[in-house]
Structure 1
Amino acid sequence: MALPARRKYVGDARRLLLAFDIGTTFSGISYSILDPGSVPEIRPVTRFPCQQHVGGDSKVPTVIYYDSNGDVRAIGAETLKEGIAEDAEENGWTQTRWFKLHLRPKPRPASIFSMFQRLNFAPESESDSIPPLPPGKTVVQVFADYMVYLFECAKEYITETHGARLWTSLEGDIMYVLTHPNGWGGPQQERMRQAAITARLIPDTDSGRARVTFVTEGEASLHFCLSNGLEIEGSDGDGVLIVDAGGGTIDLTAYRKLPDHSFEEIAVPRCHFQGAAYVTMRAEQFFKNLLSDTRFAQDVDTLTTRFDRNTKHVFRRDDEPHHIQFASHRERDVALSIRGGRLTLMGTDVATFFEPSIACIVQAVTDQISAAHAPIKTVFLVGGFSASHWLCENVRKGIEPLGVVVSRPDTHVNKAVSNGAVSFYLDGVVSSRMSRLTYGLKCRTTYDSTDPEHCRRGHLVQVHPVSGKPMLENSFSIILPKNTRVKKTTEFRESFGTSAFDRASLNDHATTVRCYTGQAENPCWIDEEPDMFSAVCIVKADTSSVKASVNKSTTGVTYYRIRFDVILLFGLTELKAQIAYLEDGVEKRGPATVVYEE
């Protein structure tokens, strides 16, 4: 199964598309030069400044060294230079790695934490040691610094490959695709967009912000597989599960091909924090436990780094020992399995570092197969972590008894997400997605004495401050139920009527979109499970153009009332909103802004 032939670019001017895949441990860049009337091609950036292996490596470390003033001293491929660790120690630089994990969803109330666990993108446990951000730096600032680096790398590569004149003609209006894990949403997207503004990739204007598009790593991986012509076993209508095993997260997304050659999600995507970085975290804890209260305790960082760069990638068998050189050849401690400055790790110990990640993937795949609306017959393993032979073979052993075929692309695994992000923008084959949660609005409803649920809340009736009518608070109006297939073009509407004594008070409107995370299929009242409802975003709109009606309250006071619809589009990779209202019987539309708060 492959993508249909890519269409010619229909824009009226040449443009440049850049895709940044900022991963937990490694990052990549892909691009496409869009020429009117020509079929776009997807190209990866394969050369980076200071990169030792020139000509084929599409990934650079997601690592930054800052000095005490907060200035970048080494970044990306520069952090692999010989002697950089010694330079950092001598000059007091701070190494920043795995900073992407600081952007992850951080639910605060215990009930919301439980929800995130059910959704399978719970934050790391308290025992996980994610390195802190550098002093005085926010995660947005660190992201911005890294985006500046990626931009400069893309500029140098494209200039060398295609000429300085082409870059100069295109750099003022570049379009960007940014990738993120399946479990991330609007708040993370907004902070990534803010990082792009801070990095001066785009201006802080509506048109500038519109130049940034987001795609989940799972969906980007699907496009990578399709654009590379990977075959899916099974009959028409069977599903395929993409498992993107990266540095920080394991993203799972299930799809089915439709007769029109588009694809639809057939299960709610999942995201687990069990990527390759967590294998390294477990190894680091092992070294700390082994060497605490010994003269080698200060060597834990060196051991962890060498395990991360070498041992983890070559591990294939649990019946063979692995040796990590970390100290002088004169160092020896037989009780600690240290000889000649080398620590000997038993293969069975290394296997335990991988085990939680392997078990997580096998269980997650099992859950996706059970939840999918179509039979899944093929699983594709992509992402840098899937290059691990030990991981791949053990995942295959756990999954193939379920009757599925486990495949892993032989080449270009490292550039799957960035290449797939460009393909997402150009080809866009996913026509519908599954709603992750139940979304709705907190409403005030007119009291109905014939409704048993209203009568049960009779003691909560309040008089509307403007109309004087008896009202009940805390009604929940569902806009989109969980696990609903939503097409990209599907609009979800909610009608509003709002009143005020002063017409100017109705010139703008803000409403909070909430999500329900409990188990009820049709939650109607927030007061029944208050901890299961949380704010997702605020939709703000200019309603000054909406015609107001003039009314009299029960006390004879004149007040104004406007009616309009808030339109939400959940089927895109980013939530969009509009308002609609009638003017002389004709529907008019206006823009609305989706705002995410910290």
Structure 2
Amino acid sequence: MALPNRKVYTGNSRRLLLAFDIGTTFSGISYSILDPGTVPEIRPVTRYPSQEQVGGDSKIPTVIYYDAMGKSCAIGAETLKEGIETDAEENGWNIARWFKLHLRPKKPAAAGRPNPNEPELPPLPPNKTVEQVLTDFMRYLRECAKIYIAETHGDRLWASLEGDIMYVLTHPNGWEGQQQAQMRRAAVCAGLTPNGEEANERITFVTEGEASLHFCISNGLAVSQTDTGVLIVDAGGGTIDITAYRKLSQQTFEEISVPSCHFQGGAYVTMRAEKHFKNLLAGSRFFHDVDVLTSRFDRNTKHVFRREDEPHHIQFASHRERDAALNIRGGRLTLAGRDVAAFFQPSIDAIVQAIKDQRAAAHFPIKSVFLVGGFSASNWLCDKVRRAIEPLGVAVSRPDSHVNKAVSNGAVSFYLDSAVSSRVSRFTYGVECQTLYRPSIPQHLSRAHLVETCTATGRCMLSRCFSTILPKNERVSEMKEYRCDYSYILSSATPVGVTSYEILSYNGTSLSPTFVDDEPSNFPTTCVVHADLSVVPPELCYSPTTGRPYYMVKFDVVLLFGLTELKAQVAYRDCNGTERRSAAKVVYEGP
């Protein structure tokens, strides 16, 4: 499954690349064995413990059962065993399902925030955090990869590569650095890599939208012409990730609008069905069967639904059970087709509106849409989206097969091929700062109470100002640098040590935010950059107002926003005026 011009691997030694697609409802693993001088191939893991009889292209449920002590009893493919629900009920196990969505951004205006009118997510098991559940699941995925690769390629190969595996972890478009940091911590706890710099080097992140683009192009799909754009709609179990791209050359693409993320995946169809069952059966002797009905709807009815005018029957109880008032006969609940359609409708509406929004915001006209992801396998969903979008002059396509491997295979392709050369900034990024107070400016005068006098220089400085580093909706190449100049004013030449700086992300409507106090809730902290300034030489200066000497430490915080993960450095001038660089650490606050 190589791109036409995929390059040979140029490393000095053989290495293993693993990609984990931890989906809301199902997960998958893909990998590539990198041999120097050969063109890498992408392979999916198609066989899992407890699922050996399933054919190729299989995925496993993103589900864990825990006992009362918090120990995992069944995980992944093991949860498909016959009678597992009965075992769980008899032994008092707690289930963790759809747990990935508990990692979603919590900020009020974060991209991809859930709709407050939607049903609530299933809670995590008692005394379990989402990081702990992720840790258990990642440890299981690594073990599955080990067993499959050892059986397929030999024990010796795995043994020779397992100490230096590179990992690609996928996540929805709406997730940011904080979610990446939580996933990295879980990966370290799961034993994927040691902590520290090695974890940063060996764990890479990619959005599900970008992974899906790589899947499409590595499978030979006609993605786009160079003068128009294409939308990749990754309809998964939890989120709908929509990303717009334009082809720049045979192998290179760029984002042409801010990617979007909507919590309207297939799991939300099931949650709406569950809410319907609870309302329907409330107060009846069948209420305790809601879980069975929901499970069978999720596994069967949802996938075969095609027509609004046909009823669907869900067998959930003994054939002797009946209640005409509840449409239950022979232990089967009859569900009207229009009710099933209603469960789908919010998700369909979200996809259609998101496509329209992306077309309006994109820098180039969009002429084609590709539907990938497990939820897009629904013919009802695909047909409804096609009917709404194709009259707009946009072709809607769906790959014939392997849509449920789009993200894991695409994640490997992302690492190998790096087809996206530029991305669009999600927010306006910047820092809170001070500026010279000028009472002639009305906005300054109205903030006179925020003025402070600098002891060393004697100047009046206005605080609570915002300095933009990167505007929203700007196309950013992978290696383009964005700088923010800083200075420390000191009374002596004592070197400055490690200092921290907050990077803010403005998510309001202003095109040029200037003051943080205008909309304080719209300037959340994205991350904190820790920089060691002990190497920066202080510069002797004299106050223009008092004439007294002071020292200034000047430096730039250099940020790279064009990668899938924010990187930072510190730039400064040495005593000879030559620019030097030192590493800076990007740290994200806890959830």
Pairwise TM-score range, normalised by the shorter structure = over 0.9
Partner of 1:506: 496
Structure 2 unaligned segments of length 5 or more: list them.
Answer: none
Write the distance in 2 (CA, Å) between the matches of 1:536 and 1:308: 37
Write the distance in 2 (CA, Å) between the matches of 1:373 and 1:251: 19
Structure 1 unaligned segments of length 5 or more: list them.
Answer: 108-112
How far off its partner does 1:559 sit? 4.7
Moved more, 555-564 or 141-150: 555-564
Write the distance in 2 (CA, Å) between the matches of 1:390 and 1:582: 62
- Tell me if 1:277 matches 2:267: yes
Match of 1:588 among 575, 580, 590: 580
Q: Is this contact kept in 2: 1:444–1:475, CA < 8 A?
A: yes
Q: Is this contact kept in 1: 2:495–2:538, CA < 8 A?
A: no
- Tell me if 1:238 matches 2:228: yes
Partner of 2:134: 143
How big is each residue's C-alpha offset from its partner over 1:197-236, in whole Å with a ceiling of 9 and x where there is no partner?
1101110121232100000000000000000001246x53
Amino acid at match of 1:135: P
Q: Is this contact kept in 2: 1:500–1:506, CA < 8 A?
A: no
Q: Is this contact kept in 2: 1:106–1:123, CA < 8 A?
A: no
Partner of 2:156: 165
Q: Is this contact kept in 2: 1:45–1:154, CA < 8 A?
A: yes
Partner of 1:21: 21
Moved more, 166-175 or 515-524: 515-524
Q: Give the match's secondary structure for 2:510.
A: coil
Write the distance in 2 (CA, Å) between the matches of 1:224 and 1:375: 22
How far off its partner does 1:451 sit? 3.9
Partner of 2:40: 40
RMSD: 1.6
Match of 2:528 among 534, 538, 545: 538
- Tell me if 1:69 matches 2:69: yes
Partner of 1:97: 97
- Tell me if 1:318 matches 2:308: yes
Map residues 556-595 of structure 1 onto 2, 5 A cutoff. Answer: 559-583=550-574, 584-595=576-587
Write the distance in 2 (CA, Å) between the matches of 1:269 and 1:505: 43
Q: Is this contact kept in 1: 2:57–2:402, CA < 8 A?
A: no
Q: Give the match's secondary structure for 1:18.
A: strand
Q: Give the match's secondary structure for 1:210.
A: helix
Match of 1:216 among 196, 207, 231: 207
Partner of 1:49: 49
Write the distance in 2 (CA, Å) between the matches of 1:139 and 1:314: 32
Q: Give the match's secondary structure for 2:524.
A: strand
How far off its partner does 1:466 sit? 4.4
How big is each residue's C-alpha offset from its partner over 1:516-571, in whole Å with a ceiling of 9 and x where there is no partner?
12211111112222232221111111110000124566778865421000000000
Q: Give the match's secondary structure for 2:462.
A: strand
How big is each residue's C-alpha offset from its partner over 1:50-85, in whole Å with a ceiling of 9 and x where there is no partner?
116423133100000001111110000100100111
Partner of 1:528: 518
How big is each residue's C-alpha offset from its partner over 1:248-296, in whole Å with a ceiling of 9 and x where there is no partner?
0000000000136310101110000000000000000000000000000
Partner of 2:218: 227
Q: Give the match's secondary structure for 1:200.
A: coil
Amino acid at match of 2:556: D
How far off its partner does 1:313 sit? 0.7
Write the distance in 1 (CA, Å) between the matches of 2:354 and 2:118: 22
Amino acid at match of 1:60: I
Q: Is this contact kept in 2: 1:218–1:253, CA < 8 A?
A: yes
Q: Is this contact kept in 2: 1:265–1:434, CA < 8 A?
A: yes
Amino acid at match of 1:213: T
How big is each residue's C-alpha offset from its partner over 1:70-123, in whole Å with a ceiling of 9 and x where there is no partner?
11100001001001111111111101100000000012xxxxx2x33xx4x122
Write the distance in 1 (CA, Å) between the matches of 2:143 and 2:371: 31
Map residues 77-116 of structure 1 onto 2, 5 A cutoff. Answer: 77-107=77-107, 113=108, 115-116=109-110
- Tell me if 1:184 matches 2:175: yes
Q: Give the match's secondary structure for 1:592.
A: strand
Write the distance in 2 (CA, Å) between the matches of 1:574 and 1:154: 25
Write the distance in 1 (CA, Å) between the matches of 2:349 and 2:68: 41
Write the distance in 1 (CA, Å) between the matches of 2:160 and 2:131: 29
Report the CA distance shift for 1:452/1:281 in structure 2 as closer, same or farther (over 3 A). Answer: same
Identity percentage of aligned residues: 65
How far off its partner does 1:452 sit? 4.2
Moved more, 272-281 or 448-457: 448-457
Q: Give the match's secondary structure for 2:364.
A: coil
Q: Give the match's secondary structure for 2:122.
A: coil
Map residues 408-427 of structure 1 onto 2, 5 A cutoff. Answer: 408-427=398-417
Q: Is this contact kept in 2: 1:203–1:209, CA < 8 A?
A: no
Write the distance in 2 (CA, Å) between the matches of 1:501 and 1:169: 57
How big is each residue's C-alpha offset from its partner over 1:373-403, in whole Å with a ceiling of 9 and x where there is no partner?
1111110000000001111111111111110
Partner of 1:376: 366
Amino acid at match of 2:502: T
Partner of 1:486: 476
Map residues 87-486 of structure 1 onto 2, 5 A cutoff. Answer: 87-107=87-107, 113=108, 115-116=109-110, 119=111, 121-125=112-116, 127-232=118-223, 235-259=225-249, 261-486=251-476
How many aligned positions are there? 587
How far off its partner does 1:127 sit? 4.4
How big is each residue's C-alpha offset from its partner over 1:432-470, in whole Å with a ceiling of 9 and x where there is no partner?
000111111100112234444333433432112444421
Q: Is this contact kept in 2: 1:47–1:55, CA < 8 A?
A: yes
Report the CA distance shift for 1:73/1:412 in structure 2 as closer, same or farther (over 3 A). Answer: same
Partner of 1:110: none
TM-score scaled by structure 2?
0.97
Q: Give the match's secondary structure for 1:506.
A: coil
